[in-house]
Amino acid sequence: MTLRPIVLTAIPLFILHAVEEYFTNFYHVDESYLWVRNTILLGISNDTLAFVAYQTVFILLLLIAYVFVQRQKVVAVLIGLVFVLELSHLFLGLMEGRYYPGLVSSLPLIGVGFVYWHTLLYRSTSS
C-alpha cells in the first residue's frame, strides 16, 4: 500500500471532523486553535469566519500534500504529525471525563493515522 490512498481516504474524514468541530464550538474552547487564531489569523475578527477560513486552508493544503506525499519525505512526515495531533481530542476528552469537541470524528482519523504511520515506516525500512 502507498500513502496516497490513505491521504485520499483521510480528506473527507477531515472535512467531517471540521464540521463536527464547527457545530460543537471547538473554536471557542480549544487552546491550540485559540493560539492559532490569536497569532496567525489576526486579520479576521469574526470567530466563525476565522475557523472556516482556517479549515478551508487546511483542506486545500491536504489536497496539495496528496500530490506530493509519495515523493517528498518531509510532506509525508508533516501529514503524519497532523494525525498525531488528532490524539489530543481523545486525551482531552479522557482528562475532562466528558465529550470534547471533535472527539467522535477524531477516532476514525486516529485509526487512519495508525495505518498511515505503519505504511510510512514500513515503506521507509523496506526501500
- Cα 25 to Cα 108: distance, rounded to the nearest angstrom: 20
The whole-number average pLDDT for the span 76-87 is: 95
- Any idea what DSSP says for residue 127? -
Does residue 124 carry a pLDDT above 70? no
The whole-number average pLDDT for the span 78-90 is: 96
Angle of the 3-23 helix axis to the 47-68 helix axis, nearest 10? 170
7 and 103 Cβ atoms separated by less than 8 Å = no
Give tens-digit pLDDT for 24-72: 999 888 888 888 888 877 767 788 888 998 899 999 999 999 999 988 8
What per-residue confidence (pLDDT) applies to 116? Answer: 97
* Cell numbers linked to 67: 500530490
- Cα 25 to Cα 35: distance, rounded to the nearest angstrom: 15
Average pLDDT, the chain: 90
Indicate the pTM of the whole model: 0.89
Residue 100: φ, ψ to 5°: -110, 135
